Amino acid sequence: MPVDDVDGHYDKLSRDELLRIARSLHWMHAIDLGDGFVTTGDWGPLFDHKLQAFSAIDFRGAKVLDIGCWDGLFSFEAERRGAAEVYATDLVSQRPLTDHPTLLVARAARKSSVRYFPDVSVFDIEKLGVRDFDVVIFSGVYYHLKDPLRALARLRRVMKDGARIYVEGAVLNKPGCYAAFHYRAPYCGDYSNWWVPTRTCLVQWLECSYFAVDKEYGPWGHGEIWRTVLLGRAIRGSNSLYGVTDELLDEFSRPAQPIVR
Closest CA to 141 of 127, 157, 125: 125
User: Which among 120, 117, 116, 170 is positioned nearest to 141, based on CA atoms?
Assistant: 170
E strands within the chain? 63-67, 85-89, 115-117, 133-139, 159-171, 179-181, 195-197, 211-222, 225-234
Name the amino acid, one letter, at 176. G
Domain boundaries, the chain: 10-237
Per-residue confidence in pLDDT tens, the chain, 261 aa: 335 555 589 999 999 999 999 999 999 999 999 999 999 999 988 888 999 999 999 999 999 999 999 999 999 999 999 999 999 999 988 777 667 799 999 999 999 999 999 999 999 999 999 999 999 999 999 999 999 999 999 999 999 999 999 999 999 999 999 999 999 999 999 999 999 999 999 999 999 999 999 999 999 999 889 999 999 999 999 999 998 889 999 999 988 876 555
Residue pair 67/121 in contact (Cβ under 8 Å)? The answer is no
CATH class entry, domain 10-237: alpha beta
How far is Cα 62 from Cα 215, in angstroms, rounded to an integer?
Answer: 20
Whether the Cβ atoms of residue 30 and residue 44 lie closer than 8 Å to each other: yes
**pLDDT for position 1:** 33
Longest Cα pair distance anywhere in the chain, in angstroms?
Answer: 60
- Taking the C-alpha atoms of residue 33 and residue 197, their distance in angstroms, rounded to an integer, is 36
Nearest Cα to Cα of residue 155 among 233, 56, 91: 233
pLDDT for res 151? 98
Rounded to whole angstroms, the Cα distance separating 127 from 121 reads 9
pLDDT of the residue at 2: 38
Look at residue 95 in the predicted model and tell me its pLDDT. 79
Rg (CA), the chain: 19
Q: Which residues contact 102 (CB under 8 A, 6 or more apart)?
A: 22, 25, 26, 27, 28, 29, 39, 70, 71, 72
